[in-house]
Amino acid sequence: MPQLNPAPWYLTMLTIWTIIILIFTPLLMKIQLPNTTEPNKATISLTPWTWSWY
């Protein structure tokens, strides 16, 4: 079974990964999920509190 020269395959893999990163990273950065965990400002309790062991 002949051995393949790794040099062109490494360059091909590096090129493909670079293209994938350059195409998909901006697409993933555009995605903004809505923040549904932020409570309503009108219902927030503004009374101060401390830890029970202090």
pLDDT digits (tens, 9 = 90+) for 12-44: 899 999 999 999 888 877 776 666 666 666 666
Using DSSP's 3-state secondary structure scheme, residue 37 falls into coil
**Tokens encoding 50:** 């401390």
Q: What is the pLDDT of residue 26?
A: 82
Angle CA(21)–CA(9)–CA(13) in degrees, nearest 5?
Answer: 5
Measured between its terminal Cα atoms, the distance across the chain in Å is 73
pLDDT at site 17: 94
Alpha helix (H) ranges present in 1-47?
6-30
Query: Is the confidence at residue 1, as pLDDT, over 60?
Result: no
Rounded to whole angstroms, what are the CA distances from 10 to 4, 14, 23? 11, 6, 20
pLDDT for 9 beyond 80: yes
